[in-house]
Amino acid sequence: MAYNEKLADRTRELISKSHQITEEKKMFGGLCFMVKGKMCVGVEQDRMMVRLDPALYDEVMEKEGCHPMDFTGKPMRGFVFVDASALTTQKKLNEWIQMALKYNAVAKASKKKK
């Protein structure tokens, strides 16, 4: 299993309560949920990738199970990983999803490749 399917199902359910998922893309070895054509959250192995306001980065790094998103040796501000062990309740999971959805409303979409 490349990603935690149960966490992906819970994530899909919570997002769809208030927003339309425009696409689910397999990327980063996991599954990414696109909202309004923009990367919002993803599930990789036993963790969730969250795209959030870069201004909140330092604050959220203090939260349980939160780690820098670091694929290249350099953390990406505005993206974090949250361990599935810190997302055991719907309330905890929803807190991260709502943070991502709030930023999604103002985030710029990446440029489409031609």
Residue 109 pLDDT: 81
The pLDDT of residue 112 is 67
User: What pLDDT, on the 0 to 100 scale, is given for residue 70?
Assistant: 85
For the domain spanning 5-104, the CATH number is 3.90.1150.30
pLDDT at residue 73 in the model: 82
Domain boundaries, the chain: 5-104
Q: Which residues of the chain have pLDDT under 70?
A: 1, 112-114
pTM over 0.85: yes
DSSP the chain: --B-HHHHHHHHHHHHTTS-EEEEEEETTEEEEEETTEEEEEEEBTEEEEE--GGGHHHHTTSTTEEE--SSSS--TTEEEEEGGG--SHHHHHHHHHHHHHHHTTPPPPPPP-
The whole-number pLDDT of residue 8 equals 96
Q: What pLDDT is attached to residue 2?
A: 82
